[in-house]
């Protein structure tokens, strides 16, 4: 088995190094191969997703990804910007199912913006469709408006779209995930305004017939953004499209107060996947050795479970992370009075020791 290791930019290299250290200590039968991606790849090869990196990603059983992006690339033409790498990987590998758990660790409840009683024990799973919607829909571009409020004016446009099989497959993923959890799916749409999401709602409702043991609730996206703040624990599995999922999964992650702890997985139809922390490349703290590596280490655990058929190894990592939290080790983002402030590397070492 082969893992493609793509550290990327900013804190990406630092946090991925710790996850690699943790994987190595498990002594499992797979090789790891590293390649550049994002801004780092642009610097080295003139493209954020060079052919060689894409080829490695395609040949691997799983990808361990750090983060990409830096303000210094903001002025590049869009196809050359770091985030195109992640969009390209999703598209070329067909990574349509994005798992974004929003979990509140007992010891970190106080770090949330929300009152402790609203988030204590929070455990929701946001499943975001990742290869459709307005992210990839054609046509898109600039043109002269022929109708609308200002015919003749310059305008820009994009196409939102979902086909039946795209909705069906992500709905199946959501219902199956809910079966292993609290058996409730909230499908988020905007059926009152969008044709795409009326269709989404209709198809999810049809797929639900195969899962009578799972409760299905429909919610408008504006209401979902509110209910996440008001009573996040009412959710179990949330399934939605690419655009709404981008917004809601980040909102939910921030509710926990410890986005530095949250892993993610993006899977294709063969369960091959890309695993990355939910947070970004944080160029402001890059190179300082203070970033929290736990989201990346937990992403490696998801990778072992979902793509590499090593559930016991995954459990070992997750238990080790709980143990280091219980022992009071904290990187600065989750530090509070009475706990021990550690560096990125020290946190990685602590997890290794706990394993």
Ligand X SMILES: CC(C)[C@H](C(=O)O)[C@@H](O)C(=O)O
Q: Which is nearer to a second copy, 279 or 330 (CB)?
A: 279
120 is in an annotated binding site: no
Interacting partner of 42 out of ligand X, a second copy, none (Cβ under 5 to 8 A depending on kind): none
8 A C-beta contact, residue 329 and residue 347: yes
CA distance 147 to 144: 9
Q: Which is nearer to ligand X, 9 or 14 (CB)?
A: 9
Q: Which is nearer to a second copy, 29 or 156 (CB)?
A: 156
Q: Residue 9: helix, strand or coil by DSSP?
A: coil
Q: How far apart are the first and last CA of the chain?
A: 22
Query: Nearest Cα to 95, choosing from 266, 319, 254, 225?
Result: 266
For helices 12-26 and 344-354, what crossing angle results, to 10°? 20
Q: Does 246 bind ligand X (CB under 6 A)?
A: yes
- Least Å distance between CB 148 and ligand X? 18
Binding segment for ligand X (CB under 6 A), chosen from 59-67, 80-88, 109-117, 300-308, is: 80-88
Among 55, 193, 327, 353, binds ligand X (CB under 6 A): 193
Among 107, 120, 137, 332, binds a second copy (CB under 8 A): 137
Q: Does 270 bind ligand X (CB under 6 A)?
A: no
CA distance 347 to 334: 12
Query: Nearest Cα to 171, choosing from 163, 280, 260?
Result: 163
Q: Does 229 bind ligand X (CB under 6 A)?
A: no
The count of other CB atoms within 10 Å of the CB of residue 250 is 17
Q: Does 219 bind ligand X (CB under 6 A)?
A: no
Binding segment for ligand X (CB under 6 A), chosen from 10-18, 82-90, 286-294, 320-328, is: 82-90
Q: Does 173 bind ligand X (CB under 6 A)?
A: no
Q: Which residues are catalytic?
A: 135, 190, 222, 246, 250
CA distance 218 to 296: 32
Query: Nearest Cα to 181, choosing from 126, 144, 115?
Result: 126
Interface residues with ligand X (CB under 6 A) are: 83, 86-87, 192-193, 222, 246
Q: Annotated binding site for Mg(2+), which residues?
A: 222, 246, 250
């Amino acid at each position: 088995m082969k893992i493609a290791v793509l550290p990327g930019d900013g804190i990406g290299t630092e946090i991925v190094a710790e996850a690699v250290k943790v994987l190595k200590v498990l002594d499992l039968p797979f090789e790891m191969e590293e390649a550049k991606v994002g801004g780092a790849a642009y610097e080295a090869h003139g493209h954020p997703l060079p052919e060689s990196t894409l080829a490695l990603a395609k040949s691997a059983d799983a990808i361990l990804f750090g983060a990409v992006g830096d303000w210094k690339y903001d002025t590049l033409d869009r196809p050359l910007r770091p985030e195109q790498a992640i969009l390209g990987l999703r598209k070329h590998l067909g990574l349509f199912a994005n798992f974004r758990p929003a979990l509140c660790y007992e010891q970190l409840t106080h770090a949330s913006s929300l009152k402790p009683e609203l988030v204590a024990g929070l455990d929701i799973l946001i499943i975001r469709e990742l290869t459709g919607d307005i992210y990839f829909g054609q046509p898109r571009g600039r043109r002269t408006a022929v109708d609308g409020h200002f015919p003749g004016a310059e305008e820009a446009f994009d196409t939102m779209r979902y086909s039946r099989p795209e909705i069906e497959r992500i709905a199946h993923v959501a219902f199956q995930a809910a079966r292993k959890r609290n058996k409730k799916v909230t499908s988020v749409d905007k059926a009152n305004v969008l044709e795409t999401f009326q269709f989404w709602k209709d198809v999810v409702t049809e797929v639900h017939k195969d899962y009578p043991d799972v409760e299905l609730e429909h919610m408008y996206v504006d209401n979902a953004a509110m209910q996440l703040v008001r009573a996040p624990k009412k959710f179990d599995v949330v399934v939605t499209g690419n655009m709404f999922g981008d917004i809601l999964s980040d909102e939910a992650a921030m509710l926990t107060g410890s986005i530095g702890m949250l892993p993610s997985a993006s899977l294709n139809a063969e369960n091959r996947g890309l695993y990355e922390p939910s947070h970004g490349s944080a160029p402001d703290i890059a190179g300082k050795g203070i970033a929290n590596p736990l989201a990346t280490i937990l992403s490696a655990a998801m990778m072992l479970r979902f793509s590499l058929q090593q559930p016991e190894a995954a459990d070992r990592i997750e238990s080790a992370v709980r143990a280091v939290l219980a022992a009071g080790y904290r990187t600065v983002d989750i530090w509070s009075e009475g706990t021990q402030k550690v560096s990125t590397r020290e946190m990685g070492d602590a997890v290794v020791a706990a394993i």
